[in-house]
Amino acid sequence: MGKHVLLIEDEPNIIEAISFILSRDGWRVDTHSNGQTALAALRDKSPDMVILDVMLPGMSGYDILRGIRDDPATAELPVLMLTARGQIKDREMAERIGADKFMTKPFSNAEMLETVRAMVAG
């Protein structure tokens, strides 16, 4: 499996941090910040995994995740959900819809890198 991630996030500082961490590790990072067009971007980019924020303009990360899981072409794609709200109900909803992993902001650089590596390694 390759090292290509699509980061769907609307906060510029988070985009910059994750892009820097992963690019430095040899990943190709594409970014997208609009929930409304995220599924089209996903089909266009064909990444090896997705990092998906819960709160996005246009469409929530939960709705995007449902779209990912409902499409046979992307149903098995590893998805890491990010949220600024770390309540148990958020985590439970993400897991119920089909998130592979869930991470609360702020996160450490090492935690992000370790999690992404593990998810793509299988």
- The domain tally of the chain equals 1
Residues spanned by the domain of 39 = 4-121
The amino acid present at 29, given as its one-letter code, is V
Q: What is the pLDDT of residue 110?
A: 96
8 Å CB contact between 56 and 33: yes
The amino acid present at 19, given as its one-letter code, is S
Q: What is the CATH number of the domain that holds 39?
A: 3.40.50.2300
- Tens of pLDDT, residue by residue over 28-37, are 999 999 999 9
Answering whether pTM is above 0.85, one says yes
| Percent of the chain with pLDDT strictly greater than 90 | 89
Greatest alpha-carbon pair distance for the chain in Å reads 34
- C-alpha to C-alpha distance for 34 and 9, rounded to whole angstroms: 8
